[in-house]
Amino acid sequence: MQIIKDNQLSNDAWEYKPDDADLGNGDVIISLSRLQQKGKALFNRTGKLGARIVPSDPVDGIVAYLPDLALVELYFPELADGRLFSHAWLLRNRYNYTGEIRATGHFLPDQVFYLSRVGVNSFYPENTAHLTSTLAGLKDFSVSYQPSAN
Amino acid sequence: MIESLNERPMAILKPTMYQYNEIDQKLVDERVAQFRRQTERFLKGELSEDQFRPLRLRNGLYIQIHAPMLRIAGPYGLLNTKQFRMLAHIARKYDRGYCHFTTRQNIQFNWPKLEEVPDILADLATVQMHAIQTSGNCMRNTTSDHLAGVCVDEIEDPRPYCEIIRQWTTLHPEFDYLPRKFKIAVSGSLNDRAATQLHDIGVHIVKNDAGELGFRILVGGGLGRTPVIGQVIKPFLEKKYLLSYLEAILRIYNLYGRRDNKYKARIKILVKETGMAEFSRQVEEEWQHTKDTMILTDERINEIKAHFTPPSYDKDAKSDTSFATNLNTNSAFATWYKHNTADHKIAGYRAVFLSLKAPDVAPGDMTDSQLDVVADLADCYSFGQIRVTHRQNLVFADVKQADLFELWQQLDQLKLATPNIGTVTDMICCPGLDFCSLANAGSIGVAKEINEALDDMDYIHDIGELKINMSGCMNGCAHQSVGHIGILGVDKKGTEWYQLTLGGSSDNEAAIGERLGPAVAKNEVTKAITTILDVYVKQRLEEESFLDMVKRVGIDPFKEQVYANH
């Protein structure tokens, strides 16, 4: 599948695994609760591991695992829930996470400039027809009053 | 013809209000381009109504009963005459020849066409104006004292801090999708004229025991369905921490504010449910992480302050004698002077209120030709600036006493000199059912009826300071809960009824009004108001204001008379 990563279109093989699905050997994203239940045992695989945060997740619950996570996914169930913007900011600025932060779900291309400013560096919109406009949206503004987290 | 601001050699003068630099201009231009694309996508069907709604709201665009309504930001209520003429142009070209000034010092147009809104925004951008974040669940226009910089009770001019906050809030990437709208007001005076206790965050410039200037920060105030008076969360905040502290409050609110129920989503509910002590602890803890990483430097403050240099006042303004003569010989002028002007820190100057509450117009409305002439007058008499007050009037902040008589005559011709500032007919009023899709009841018509019933200026002046605020629904855009008399339109099985409250205030001793009793029918509102006024006139002590009397006697004497025949 194609996503936007670091300001360009790129191919990607990450896959979100629901809590009852087998993880397999690829690069997989799991829920925060599954990560917290299974703990470090999950990292004994060949594939890379990422974790999904939804707006209601307390972001500090992921902190202990951050050094081992190659990706943190921020899943938007709806476009208007702004908690994920703070989650991203905290991951980058408070918890110094340097891996990939990916926005997925129902955000709009019109929000990706903001998301990029709070630390999100890859985007996989629910509506893949939005990929091109997502890329364009990163350039909606060339100036800003606030410092960037990226 | 009065020389326009454009033709004056402004470059050699120091700025007296904030002027955009290249970055500010670019940001606003890029926002216009972004909104143009968004509108095109919506009109082509590429964005659904649900997707377009938060985007258009963040550009001030509501969908109302008759047409979209566009709300334009008046940054802390301060406009120049070039901007005013642009409002006139927009009213003529895109609307029906008038605009409406709001309680948040903003400007609303009630009849724009959706497809033309990007063009309106592009026109506004040419005069350093925009509609960014004037609605939607984000940080709104920062409001302030309409007498900032000229009033006699000022500790420090709040406008530079307003501008610093304006920039910080504009397109803030982390806080654009908050649980609910978020409003900040700043006051720099002993008397609060910006209703800061009724904002999500109130910022007060204060002096500490060591004589240093800083900020007292209030949080959790607000009107609407559940009016709450803000509480002090930080008695004294050093200036350098202003933005880091605001950011800490916003982050806690963004993370923990309720999103399950829009009527419980304002920060006042979070503060109430969390408890002030715990909320304050959370903010403090958050702030400790960031306070030293985002310092507001003196250099930055001074850079913004340099935009607000005082205009070149005439040192001999006080020596004029014509003013005293006119005052003694023309009683209409003297009445206007008493009610519609305020003290100025420079001897020989006054701040002049332009009343937008003439008896036969909707409160806060102005026509395109009035806008143009007012711009000419401001150029001529008040250094080319106009302020919008939160009671929906205008202020010329710097008028020489020698010019007052001439200015009064011209304002009188424009119907902008009704000597009713702060009186019972200086009503705050929302657009109500006539325009707003949220409203349950009309407000403009009721205001007009009350105004017509109170046609005796001597009686109005005898009543003295009395603020009536009237909203057409519980959202409370006209701040009815803090009106000395509040009127709230409610819908009862399809008919319009009105709840009355007494004793509210948005001043230093802020208070939420107490409900008088059952709602009254539309055709009984005016009678109820005149009855309340009669009770006051009969039972007041010498020199006692309406608000003081309500405090002294409570609502019962009023209640007895208003409901006497029920």
| pLDDT given for residue A42 in this prediction | 83
Structural domain includes residue A143? no
| pLDDT given for residue B477 in this prediction | 85
Q: Tokens 């005149």 appear where? A: B530
Q: Return the residue of A nearest to B251 by Cα.
A: A86
Q: Is any Cβ of chain A less than 8 angstroms from the Cβ of B56?
A: no
CB–CB of B173 and A81 under 8 A?
Answer: no
Report the domain count for chain A: 1
Judge if B260 and B321 occupy the same domain: no
Mean pLDDT (chain A) is 95
The CATH number of the domain holding residue A129 is 3.20.20.70
B179, B89 contact by CB (below 8 A):
no
Judge if B372 and B438 occupy the same domain: no
**ipTM tops 0.95:** yes
Which of B27, B55, B137 has the CB atom closest to A110's CB atom? Answer: B55
Judge if B121 and B223 occupy the same domain: no
Report the distance separating Cα A110 and Cα B57, nearest Å: 13
Q: Is any Cβ of chain A less than 8 angstroms from the Cβ of B178?
A: yes
Dihedral-angle region of residue B220 (phi above 0 means left; psi in -120 to 50 means alpha; beta otherwise): left
Judge if B443 and B552 occupy the same domain: yes
**Alpha helices per DSSP H over B191-330:** 242-256, 267-274, 276-290, 298-305, 322-329
Structural domain includes residue B140? no
Q: Is any Cβ of chain B less than 8 angstroms from the Cβ of A95?
A: no
Sheet with A100-105, strands from edge to edge, namely A8-11, A2-5, A122-125, A100-105, A71-76, A49-53, A28-31, A15-16
**Encoded tokens for B418:** 């009704």
* Cβ count near B241 (within 10 Å): 22
Q: Tokens 């829920």 appear where? A: A31
Judge if B155 and B280 occupy the same domain: yes
Range of the domain at A26: 2-137
Report the distance separating Cα A28 and Cα B493, nearest Å: 56
B185, B479 contact by CB (below 8 A):
no
**Encoded tokens for B97:** 């020849």
CB–CB of B26 and A118 under 8 A?
Answer: no
How many CA atoms lie within 13 Å of B359's alpha carbon, on the beta-carbon side? 11
Judge if B120 and B158 occupy the same domain: no
Please name every residue paired with B139 in a beta bridge, in sequence order, or none if there are none: B182
Q: Which of B137, B255, B291 is best to mutate for the A interface (most A CBs within 10 A)?
A: B255
Judge if B321 and B289 occupy the same domain: no
B491, B440 contact by CB (below 8 A):
yes
Structural domain includes residue B36? yes
A91, A101 contact by CB (below 8 A):
yes
Structural domain includes residue B138? no
Judge if B154 and B301 occupy the same domain: yes
Q: Which of B248, B280, B305 is the last residue of a domain?
A: B305
SS3 string of B222-257? Answer: ECCCCCECCEEEEEEEEHHHHHHHHHHHHHHHHHHC
CB–CB of B175 and A85 under 8 A?
Answer: yes
Q: To the nearest whole angstrom, how far is the Cα of B238 from the nearest Cα of chain A?
A: 21
Report the distance separating Cα A29 and Cα A75, nearest Å: 11
Please list every residue in chain A whose beta carbon sits closer than 8 Å to the beta carbon of residue B259. Answer: 55, 81, 83
What separation in angstroms does the CA of B23 have from each of B26, B28, B558? 5, 9, 56
Structural domain includes residue A64? yes
| pLDDT given for residue B291 in this prediction | 96
Range of the domain at B370: 317-413
Cα–chain center distance at B47: 33
CB–CB of A108 and B55 under 8 A?
Answer: yes
B236 contacts: CB under 8 Å, gap ≥ 6: B206, B208, B214, B215, B216
pLDDT above 70 (res A52): yes
Question: Can you give the pLDDT of all 566 residues of chain B as single tens digits?
Answer: 444 444 444 445 678 999 999 999 999 999 999 999 999 999 999 999 999 999 999 999 998 666 789 999 999 999 999 999 999 999 999 999 999 999 889 999 988 999 999 999 999 999 999 999 999 999 999 999 999 999 999 999 999 999 999 999 999 999 999 999 999 999 999 999 999 999 999 999 999 999 999 999 999 999 888 899 999 999 999 999 999 999 999 999 999 999 999 999 999 999 999 999 999 999 999 999 999 999 999 999 999 999 999 999 999 999 999 999 999 999 999 999 999 999 999 999 999 999 999 988 888 999 999 999 999 999 999 999 999 999 999 999 999 999 999 999 999 999 999 999 999 999 998 878 777 777 888 888 888 899 889 989 999 999 999 999 999 888 888 899 999 999 999 988 889 999 999 999 999 999 999 999 999 999 999 999 999 999 999 999 999 999 999 999 999 999 999 998 66
| pLDDT given for residue A43 in this prediction | 81
Question: What H or E segment, with its residue span, contains residue B39?
Answer: helix B22-43
Structural domain includes residue A59? yes
Report the distance separating Cα A74 and Cα A104, nearest Å: 6
**Encoded tokens for A116:** 């990029």
Report the distance separating Cα B340 and Cα B335, nearest Å: 8
Q: To the nearest whole angstrom, how far is the Cα of B27 from the nearest Cα of chain A?
A: 6
Q: To the nearest whole angstrom, how far is the Cα of A63 from the nearest Cα of chain B?
A: 16
Burial label for B44, CB within 10 Å (0-12, 13-18, 19+), is exposed
